Amino acid sequence: MRAPNWLTARPVAHRGLHDISRGIVENMPAAAQAAVDGNFAIECDIQLSSDGEAMVHHDNALGRLTEGSGALLGMTAAELKAVNFMNTPERMMTLGDLCALVGGRVPLVIEVKSHFDGDRRLVKRMAEVLASYDGPAVGMSFDPDQVVALRELIPGRARGIVAERDYTVEEWPEASAEQRRGMTHLRHAFRTRPHFVAYWVNELPAAAPWIARNVFGLPLLAWTVRTSEQRAQAARYADQIIFEEFLPGT
């Protein structure tokens, strides 16, 4: 399998086309709808609930952009779906809700969040949801073990690795030192067998993504592109952008 052509055919809206000045918060339904209206692909994050549901949310705890507090892993899907995004009437979605909203109109680039504990329940639930979804969708993760889970549990969908150059204990406290070392330089590639790479734009060019793209032919997405300088960097070294805070083409 190769990465589908649609993966790089259009810019990818980071956590949907959100705009806090308009009351549109990342990963909420209005952000997804705005991306569909703009004909952009949607990057989203999924987290696991206590009862095994895939919730569309970046943080592993409530409070930064939502009402309430507490870890998502300690709450059921029903409890999380009752949570409002701050200063909006909108509530958290499941992956199934997002698929129903998008309906295959634009691609989904789904990032699997991880606690680096080997738990595959989130990918298993993602597999169940996508089994009945005909729209374009791929999965990716920073955690190589979750990419392996994508390879084994959802073999019919393309998968990617999200990466950067360094992984510090401050930024990655749940990952062990061995896991952090294993994430560097895409050294896990023969185990994860990714179909594409998403790499931090500020660290392009870099040897590992250059080799992945130019030797092995893997599409390279640059994240997260916000400034004109980053746009120029991505245009030079990557095949497509994951963007926010501006509209491509403007």
Token couple for 138: 């791929």
The verdict on residue 13 lying in a domain is yes
SS3 203: helix
pLDDT (0 to 100) of residue 79: 98
Per the structure, the complete domain to which residue 158 belongs is given by 5-243
Q: Are 98 and 56 in contact (CB under 8 A)?
A: yes
Q: Is residue 250 part of a domain?
A: no
Q: Is residue 37 part of a domain?
A: yes
Examine residue 167 and state whether it is found in any structural domain, yes or no: yes
Q: What is the pLDDT of residue 122?
A: 98
- Please give the pLDDT value at position 1: 85
- Domain-embedded: residue 248: no
Q: Are 49 and 72 in contact (CB under 8 A)?
A: yes
> According to the model, what pLDDT value does residue 59 have?
98
Q: Classify residue 76: in a domain, yes or no.
A: yes
For the chain of 250 residues, list the mean pLDDT of each consecutive stretch of 10. Answer: 96 97 96 98 98 98 96 98 94 98 98 98 98 98 98 98 98 98 97 98 98 98 98 98 94
Cβ burial 106-115 (10 Å sphere, 16+ → b, else e): bbbbbbbbbe
**Eight-class DSSP state of 100:** H
- Looking at the structure of the chain, the number of domains it has is 1
Position 249 scores a pLDDT of 84
Write the DSSP assignment of 32-90 as a string of letters: HHHHHHHT-EEEEEEEE-TTS-EEE-SSSEESSSBSS-EEGGGS-HHHHHTPBBTTSS-
CATH code for the domain in which residue 228 is found:
3.20.20.190
101 located within any domain: yes
* Angle formed by the axes of helices 144-153 and 121-131, nearest 10°: 40
